[in-house]
């Protein structure tokens, strides 16, 4: 069984900044405590799903599950790499977590 990713809607593009900053601040403490693993990251993506306004969704990697639970994120499938932006994590975490997208 693949470890769960977690997702958390952060609101629209105008209101997502504050929760994004809260996640980023909490992430760095957890990241350092965990020994800065390359597979621990939080990504965001603007998603519209047919709505007029897009919503920003945060995706927590399985190694960030403890942090995800603190923010009451819900388990989800691994997101596709397309359109994801790194919110917090090591610069190379995208390559570690999505190796197939590097080819």
* pLDDT score of 29: 93
Q: Is 2 part of a structural domain of the chain?
A: no
* pLDDT score of 50: 64
Contacts for 72-76: CB closer than 8 Å, 24+ residues apart: 72/8, 73/6, 73/7, 73/8, 74/6, 74/7, 74/8, 75/4, 75/5, 75/6, 76/4, 76/5, 76/6, 76/7
Q: Is 57 part of a structural domain of the chain?
A: yes
Nearest to 12 by CA among 55, 52, 49: 55
Q: Is 67 part of a structural domain of the chain?
A: yes
Q: Is 3 part of a structural domain of the chain?
A: no
Residue 30 CA to residue 43 CA, distance in Å, equals 16
* pLDDT score of 59: 98
Range of the domain at 58: 9-102
* pLDDT score of 51: 62
Q: Is 71 part of a structural domain of the chain?
A: yes
Q: Is 20 part of a structural domain of the chain?
A: yes
Mean pLDDT by 10-residue block, N- to C-terminus, for the chain (103 residues)?
87 86 95 95 86 85 96 96 94 90 57
Domains of the chain: total: 1
């Amino acid at each position: 069984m693949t470890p769960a990713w977690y997702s958390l809607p952060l609101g629209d593009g105008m209101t997502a900044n504050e929760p994004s900053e809260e996640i980023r601040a909490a992430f760095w403490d957890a990241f350092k405590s965990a020994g800065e693993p390359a597979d621990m990251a939080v990504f965001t993506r603007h998603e519209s799903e047919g709505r007029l306004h897009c919503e920003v969704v945060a995706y927590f990697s399985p190694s960030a599950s403890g942090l995800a639970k603190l923010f009451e994120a819900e388990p989800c499938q691994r997101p596709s790499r397309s359109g994801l932006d790194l919110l917090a994590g090591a610069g190379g975490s995208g390559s570690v977590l999505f190796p197939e997208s590097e080819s």
